[in-house]
């Protein structure tokens, strides 16, 4: 059986799916992890994947359902197809056109993933820089050293970069 799994990944919003299966996903995208015992929500659900900061579980919608219901890969795909009435032709071979579209979608998904990782790196660098400058200024107190004066000059730009990086991360996270 040839399965167009990318069609499933495209069609499913994992946050909606998690809610559908009874998980209380908060506005920040976190819920209590289904895969380890916890009281505080440390499992982050994005529209296209999840990652638990507590136990390291992660993956796409298919991996989520596979593990949640202890299913085989094809059974997890079939369950998503049924539960969300995707009506995907998962029991016949892909046509060449579908295969091409799936490849394209997969490339696009990878590109998005890379953009997201790059944005996160930029954010953490900006946060480091801002924190460093801020600390220099605070540590200097009334005794304004050259270093602290320089940090003050650079702080507004660092703050701007941090805000911009944060917005970029949020936007890509959806």
* Binding-site ranges for Zn ion (CB under 5 A): 33, 35-36, 52, 54-55, 57
Nearer to Zn ion, 57 or 148 (CB): 57
Under DSSP, the state recorded for 45 is E
Q: How far is the CB of 31 from Zn ion (least distance, A)?
A: 10
Helix locations, 40-95, DSSP H = 61-68, 73-83
Q: How far is the CB of 70 from Zn ion (least distance, A)?
A: 16
The residue count of the chain comes to 174
Nearer to Zn ion, 37 or 146 (CB): 37
Which of helix, strand or coil describes residue 31? Answer: strand
Q: How far is the CB of 36 from Zn ion (least distance, A)?
A: 4
Nearer to Zn ion, 31 or 137 (CB): 31
The two tokens of residue 93 are 């071979």
Q: Which residues contact 95 (CB under 8 A, 6 or more apart)?
A: none
The two tokens of residue 147 are 């270093």
Nearer to Zn ion, 57 or 71 (CB): 57
Q: How far is the CB of 55 from Zn ion (least distance, A)?
A: 3
> How far, in Å, are 12, 65, 86 from residue 83 at the CA level?
11, 11, 8
Q: How far is the CB of 68 from Zn ion (least distance, A)?
A: 12
Residue 6, Cα to own-chain centre: how many angstroms? 17
- Enclosing H/E stretch for 123: helix 96-140
Nearer to Zn ion, 36 or 107 (CB): 36
């Amino acid at each position: 059986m040839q399965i167009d799994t990318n069609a499933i990944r495209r069609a499913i919003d994992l946050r909606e799916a998690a809610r559908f299966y009874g998980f209380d996903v908060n506005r920040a995208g976190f819920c209590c992890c289904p895969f380890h015992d916890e009281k505080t929500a440390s499992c982050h659900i994005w529209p296209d994947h999840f990652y638990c900061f507590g136990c390291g579980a992660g993956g796409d919608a298919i991996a989520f359902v596979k593990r949640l219901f202890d299913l085989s890969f094809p059974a997890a795909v079939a369950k998503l197809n049924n539960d969300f009435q995707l009506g995907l032709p998962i029991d016949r071979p892909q046509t060449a056109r579908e295969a091409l579209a799936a490849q394209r979608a997969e490339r696009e998904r990878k590109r998005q993933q890379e953009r997201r990782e790059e944005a996160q790196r930029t954010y953490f660098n900006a946060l480091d820089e801002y924190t460093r400058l801020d600390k220099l200024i605070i540590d200097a107190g009334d005794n304004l050293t050259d270093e602290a004066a320089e940090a003050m000059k650079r702080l507004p730009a660092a703050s701007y970069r941090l805000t911009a990086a944060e917005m970029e991360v949020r936007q890509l996270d959806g």
